[in-house]
Chain A
C-alpha cells in the first residue's frame, strides 16, 4: 500500500514518517495556544494554528519535527505558527536531536497577521541557521499541494537538505502572485506545465536547489529523510563559498533563459519535453551529469 504524501494531512504525514507511537506533540490543542488575531477578524482559528510540532524518532533516531498543514489558510505563517517553528529549532540548539525535520507546505506569510507573520518568518530563517551552526541538520521536505512559497521558500533554502517530490513546488512569489503583479502575458498561473517547469520538483532538482527527488509516497520521503540524517550537514566555509559560486555561475549560465526548457537544454537535455514524462527513477538516472550542481 502506498500512502500519498501529497494527499495526506500534516498529522497523517507525521504518523506515517515517524516510528510507531514515538511522536510526542508539543503545545497540543489542550494547551489552547491559538492565533490571537483571527478571532478579531471573525475567522475561525485552528487548534494548532496550522503547524504541528513535537519530537519523535525516525529509524530510531531522535528528531524534532514541525509539520505545516496546507489545508488551514494555505499553511500560511502567523505569529503563533511561526513562533512554534522557531521554538522547535531553538530547542534543537539546546538539546541536539539527530535532526530537525521541517515538513513545509505554505504560501508564506499569513496576510491577516502581516507584520507579525513577516517577523516570524525572519525568525524561522535565523533559527534554522542557529540549529545548523549548533551541529543539528535541518531537513526540509516539500511535497504537498500548496508547495512552499514566500518567505518560507527562502527559509527552506537555509536548511541543510531539501527533499522534494515531482509534485512539490518551491519558490518565492507563487504563480498567482506573479500573474497578479506582472500580468498573464508574463506568467500564466493556470498553465500547469509552465508552473511545474518553473517551480516544480524536477526543475529544482536540476538547478541543484533540492538535493533529493523522490516519488510521491510517505515511505519514499521516509527513506530520503533517513539517508539525509545519515549524511549530516556540511556547515563549513568551503561549502558556503561553493554554494555562492554555484549561484554566481547560475546567473552567468542561465541569465538569458526565458523558460525552464531553455535551462534544461543548456544542461544538456536534448529533448526537454521528454523529461516531464519520466518517472522518478528514470529521471534521477538521466539527470546524472545534467544538473547545475
Chain B
C-alpha cells in the first residue's frame, strides 16, 4: 500500500463555528473525517491521506460538491481514507460537518436491529 496525500482549498465560504469532531473509521472501504475550526479568512482547507493512489481528480470533484453544498468556511478538514467510494466520502463529509456544527455531539444513531 502506498499512500497519497492531497490538499484542497476553497475560498469564499461563510465562517462556520463548531467544536472539533471525528466521524467514521479508518477501515477497508471506509474513511475517517475530522473537522476543526481554523482562522482561514473564510476558506475551507482539506487534507486527504489515502491508501488508494491516482484518484486526485475524483477527490477534487467530491470536495468541490461538498463545498458547494455547505459553503462552510474557517474550517480545516482532515481525511484518512482506506479506499472509500465517492458516495461514502460525500456522506461522511456531510456527517462530519453536521457533527461539528452540533458542537461535537454525536448525531442520533441510525436505527440498528438487534442481532
List chain A positions with a Cβ less than 8 A from chain B: 1-4, 6-9, 11-12, 15-16, 21, 28-30, 39, 42-48, 69, 71-72, 167, 215-217
Contacts and interface: CB of A to CB of B under 8 A. Distances in A.
Nearest to B112: A4
Nearest to B82: A44
A46 B36 contact: no
Interface residues of B, number: 27
A44 B22 contact: no
Contacts of B30: 71
In order of increasing CB-CB distance, the 7 nearest A-B pairs are: A71-B27, A71-B25, A46-B26, A4-B112, A15-B106, A216-B115, A2-B114
Contacts of A11: 22, 106
A42 B2 contact: yes
B78 A43 contact: no
A4 B51 CA distance: 30
A30 B114 contact: no
Interface in B73-107: 78, 80-82, 105-106
Contacts of A12: 106, 109
A44 B114 contact: no
29 contacts: A2-B113, A4-B112, A8-B109, A11-B22, A11-B106, A15-B109, A16-B109, A21-B105, A29-B34, A30-B20, A30-B36, A42-B1, A42-B2, A44-B3, A44-B49, A44-B51, A44-B80, A46-B26, A46-B32, A47-B78, A47-B80, A71-B25, A71-B27, A71-B30, A72-B25, A72-B26, A167-B115, A216-B114, A217-B114
